[in-house]
Amino acid sequence: MSRLLLFNKPYGVLSQFTDAEGRETLANYIDLPGVYPAGRLDRDSEGLLLLTDDGKLQQKIADPKYKKWKTYWVQVEKQPDETALQQLRDGVTLKDGPTRPAQVKVIDEPALWPRTPPVRFRQNIPTAWLELKIREGRNRQVRRMTAAVGYPTLRLVRVSIGEWGIQGIAPGEWQEQHI
């Protein structure tokens, strides 16, 4: 039986167990031998990170060829217009090539935990929240996509990967499922 951990990664934590520079890592939160992240989540992003002790399951979660949707709640600078949203839906060309089309919609501000440190707030620049779903996971892809269409990301929270989500899991906490 395979182990699968659903971890709500806090802001500022690396998606690895060791760091030569002494920054916070998964080891600060998870003390289980033999589990490894299935994919990554940037240090300045929050939310769902899956860990498993099963290499085949790890590949099925992380490899884009299995087409698992990853859902993010993204706070961006300014209020995106329909042109920018359609560009994200069509796929955006980044330095490393075009992205696959995304599913995206503007959402009300989600009920999230406070981030430490808080997102910088500038009174003269409004923000908006997007729900953005992608089927790939390049380095800092969501941030690069929103910036490419003129709306830089301020806060990024991954809320689900495929059928797994962080509902009911507080930041820094994890739940185990047996697969």
**Catalytic residues, which ones?**
42
Q: What single string gives the DSSP state of each residue in 66-123?
A: G---EEEEEEEES---HHHHHHHHH--EETTEEPPP-EEEEEPPP--PPPSSPPP--T
In the DSSP assignment, the letter for residue 39 is S
The amino acid at residue 150 is G
Separation of alpha carbons 41 and 46, rounded Å: 7
Helix (H) or strand (E) holding 59: helix 55-62
Separation of alpha carbons 79 and 50, rounded Å: 31
**Cα dihedral angle (101, 149, 42, 113), rounded to 10 degrees?**
-100
